Structure 1
Amino acid sequence: MNQTRIPAIYMRGGTSKGVFFRADSLPADPALRDRILLRVIGSPDPYGKQIDGMGGGTSSTSKVVLIGPSARPDCDVDYLFGAVSIDTPVIDWSGNCGNLTSAVGPFAIAQGLVDAPRDGLATVRIWQANLGAKIVAHVPVQDGEVVEDGDFELDGVTFPAAEIRLEFLDPGGAEDGDAAAGAMFPTGQPVDTLDVPGYGAFAVTLINAGNPTIFMHARDLGLRGNELQPDVNENAALLKKCEAIRAHAAVRMGLGNSADEVSASRPATPKLAFVSEPAGYVASSGKRIEATDVDLNVRILSMGKLHHAMTGTGAVAIAVAAAIPGTIVNQLVANSTNATNGRVRFGHPSGAMTVGAEAEQRDGDWIVTRAVMSRSARRLMEGQVLVPSALWTDA
């Protein structure tokens, strides 16, 4: 046999898709594991389409997830996420995918990794191994199986599905992973001035929440903040500028030794997002978003391109930054008449979304204890993926 079969499930989680594996279905050697996963997804592909693999040629569809039983007494499963580069042989394991997090609980239940009630809500305690953080998923079940049909609508996803509520515990801190090195604010400040050679100085909020994230004003990029994908992704000069800002900010956050190293080895994190006051626009679906519908507009870049909606971890970072006085996000939300009870509604290219965070002050410092958002998930295909057997024999 010239191909080897590996058990896998292809799943949508939030506005992303990825190939899910039980961790014990893959080699323990990280180098061999990554070699196999790259081939599963179809990377690297100089054509940018991943035709010979399971990837979809976008940052939202070029992803892999590994799940197994947790050794931690306070968690049920360990969850490792990989962002697969489309055109280079790199899998970035430095961050999390908040969208695919919504599919972790359903996968764990279906695989028998969690004891779920016959009916009601199953609580799945997830250890996010990339960042060293705990997430709790509340997954609806009926007759012992995950409920996937429902009426929960998510802008960026065509069909409604069952709601899955996610709680990101202590989203501004982490026990393991490089996100822990800088705590919530790596520089200790809610706003910094970042000097980027060749481009100038920018006001930025550098924050570890969900994923390491950089927030800046849309106007500092010459943008309005209500742009759609073509407005940004077809502007090569703008993308180059954004990557320079992202890479230099990562160094400032202690996530790399040089901007060149960041661009080469960790394209997935930190994420760069730009924000603005509410402004109306027509979303990619044709839905009209009025300025009065949202507290602010947010756009985020993922793997070098503007995301078609909002990353799940970006939503967490927005909620956390909105709850902390002094951040760029908080300054915008503070002027909004809509934001209440720790919840913020923001506009993104596919529509709008509401997220929330609980914050309190301890010894003069603001602490965010929990961020909450809702997503949905669905199995798209289950069975086996096929990869050339020579990947093992030639290793």
Structure 2
Amino acid sequence: MGEEQVSIPCVFMRGGTSKALYFHERDVPPAGPDRDRLLKRVMGTPDVLQIDGMGGSRLVTSKVAIVQRSARDDVDIDYTFAQIDVARDGIGYDANCGNISSAVAPFAIDEGLVEAVEPVTTVCIHNTNTGKLLVSKVQVKNGKARVHGDCVIPGVPDTGAEILMDYAGTVGAKTGRLLPTGQAVETVTLEDGRLIEVSLCDVANPCVFVDAASLGMSGSELPDAITSNRALIETLGEIQSKMGERIGLYSDWREVHLPGLPLAVIVAPPVNQLRGRQWAAARGRGHGPDGASRVLRQVP
């Protein structure tokens, strides 16, 4: 209609250690170029600062969730995740995001897409990116998802209401197997001759797990120390690309630029170094006796 300003309802919400814009499916264009242009424009991409949009100049703050009531009898909600690039003019739908998934059920409850049941509402979520099911248990009070609570997770200040996420239904999301290579531990030979032991698992997303010590890291490095280490980033990229080729995601690892999958996960023994009280508390509350992960939700 030639209008310069168009209003689109959305919710700006944190899930875990990421933030996203949450849209109703009905309020955005169908999947395709028009939707992509809209989502990139909303975030302010491409721009390293995303100054003309809602993005926060980092990948963890440049995410979108598109949600609707599911037509399936065995599912409550359909949810599509979009990762918007920051400096590059790109958008990806090839994987899910665990952090953003944790806020899908609270959004659905607050928006009336599922019935709010106190004290806990269970929501079955179909992730359209992977075709897999997630189950979320959300604390509810007065018909809304609770915000206040005593749950603590590393990387998020203060406390919040606990959300339990069951990812058992996401095994083999991309490859169809928990261990896509059939091996629990295997060795990647780098071009400089180093041998790095890794584990590749496919739960929600394919992830390659690497011991921090094998990369010369302590595991307590903060993001800036990692992203500014060009040699480390190149090593991780080589590991990701080679493991991606090994499981059939790429035909030639040498042709992969900034591999998105498998995700790289650096692991190390715990240390009391980050955020003092909250880090210590997180070690006590991060996982319950049932092994279920706990994720915070908060509306910024």
Q: Alignment length, in residue pairs?
A: 298
1:110-143 Cα deviation digits (max 9, x unpaired): 22211222x3111111112212221111112222
2:114 match: 114
Give runs of aligned pairs for residues 99-138 of structure 1, distance below 5 A: 99-117=99-117, 119-138=118-137
| Coordinate RMSD, CA, aligned | 2.5
Query: 1:281-331 deviations in whole A, cap 9, x for unaligned?
Result: 521x355968xx99xxxxxxxxxxxxxxxxxxxxxxxxxxxxxxxxxxxxx
Alignment of 1:225-236 (within 5 A): 225-236=219-230
Sort the Cα spacing of 1:88 and 1:356 in 2 relative to 1 into closer, same or farther, 3 A: farther
Q: CA deviation at 1:261?
A: 5.2
Q: 1:148 to 1:27 in 2, by over 3 A?
A: same
Amino acid at match of 1:373: S
Equivalent in the alignment of 1:375 = 295
1:318 alignment counterpart: none
How many angstroms does 1:192 deviate by?
A: 1.8
CA positional deviation for 1:49 = 1.4
SS at match of 2:113: coil
SS class of match (1:263): coil
2:149 is matched with which residue?
Answer: 150
The 1:113–1:242 alpha-carbon spacing in structure 2 relative to 1, beyond 3 Å, is: same
Instruction: Name the counterpart of 1:64.
Output: 64
Q: Which amino acid aligns with 1:27?
A: P
Q: Does 1:92 align with 2:54?
A: no
Q: Offset at 1:232?
A: 1.9
Aligned ranges 1:1-395 → 2 under 5 Å: 1-45=3-47, 48-117=48-117, 119-174=118-173, 179=174, 181-198=175-192, 200-259=194-253, 262-263=256-257, 267=260, 269-276=261-268, 278=269, 280-283=271-274, 285-286=275-276, 353-354=286-287, 372-380=292-300
Contact residue 133 and residue 169 of structure 1 kept, 8 A: no
CA shift at 1:198, angstroms?
4.2
Q: 1:164 to 1:84 in 2, by over 3 A?
A: same
Percent identity, please.
Answer: 36
Worse-matched range after superposition: 101-110 or 222-231? 222-231
Q: Partner letter of residue 232 of structure 2?
A: L
The answer to whether the Cα contact below 8 Å between 1:226 and 1:281 also exists between their aligned partners in 2 is: no
From the superposition, tell whether residues 262 and 27 of structure 1 become closer, same or farther in structure 2 (CA, over 3 Å). Answer: farther
Cα 1:100–1:355 change in 2 (3 A) is farther
**1:337: which partner in 2?**
none
1:301 aligned residue: none
2:286–2:294 CA contact under 8 A, matched in 1? no
The question of whether the paired residues in 2 share the 8 Å contact of 1:280 and 1:288 is answered with no
Q: Which letter does structure 1 place at the counterpart of 2:24? A: R
Find the counterpart in structure 2 of residue 340 from structure 1: none
TM-score (norm 2): 0.90
Q: 1:11, CA displacement in angstroms?
A: 0.4
Task: Name the CA distance, whole Å, in 1 between partners of 2:14 and 2:278.
Answer: 25
Q: Structure 1: which 5+ runs fail to align?
A: 295-344, 347-351, 358-370, 381-395
CA distance in 2, matches of 1:84, 1:72: 28
Counterpart-to-counterpart distance in 2, 1:112 and 1:355: 30
CA contact 1:68–1:77 (8 Å) conserved in 2: yes
* Deviation sequence 1:254-293 (CA, Å, 0-9, x none): 22223355435x53x32112223x263521x355968xx9
Q: Indicate the SS of the match to 1:237.
A: helix
Mapped partners of 1:218, 1:37: distance in 2: 35
What is the CA-CA distance between 1:225 and the residue it aligns to?
A: 2.6
By how many angstroms is 1:200 displaced? 3.7
Matched AA of 1:235: N
Take 2:194 and 2:169, find their aligned partners in 1: how far apart are those partners?
A: 34
Q: Cα gap change, 1:165/1:280 in structure 2, threshold over 3 Å: closer, same or farther?
A: closer
